[in-house]
Amino acid sequence: MKQINFLVLFIFTMALVLFALENTATATIQIIPGTAFDAPLCIELIVAIGIGAAIAWLFSIWTGVQVAIAGVGKNKQIQNLKRQVNELSIQVDERNKILTSSPSTASVIDVESEEKTK
């Protein structure tokens, strides 16, 4: 996957360099009314790409924070389920001890379960 990412980045960078070599004409930039300056078109593109990359990076950080927060909730749910499994396994062990300690009780339970299945 790293090779694919490198290849995409390399192709994109080469396209940007070729664009910069072909577009050296100046263009006027006006961000705030009354304030304008001239810069080569390729520099404007590089700055715009940088701002877009920074916004994408901030978005990926935000997404990572959301995933981490969701993971905390899942970890709590997993811990609760593990606790329930332990409690139920203790109950099963206790019931197995009761069944093995008195054989007459086991036969009564078998008869009751056979009646429920009919």
Q: Coil, strand or helix: which one is 47?
A: helix
The whole-angstrom separation of Cα 48 and Cα 53 is 9
What predicted TM-score, i.e. pTM, was given to this entire model?
0.52
Q: Which residues contact 19 (CB under 8 A, 6 or more apart)?
A: 42, 45
Q: 34's torsion region: left (phi>0), alpha (psi -120 to 50) or beta?
A: left
Number of domains comprising the chain: 1
* Domain hosting residue 68, numbered range: 2-117
Going residue by residue through the chain (118 aa), what tens digit of pLDDT does each one get? 788 988 998 998 888 888 878 888 888 888 888 888 898 888 888 888 889 889 999 999 999 898 888 888 888 889 999 999 999 999 998 888 888 876 555 555 555 555 555 5
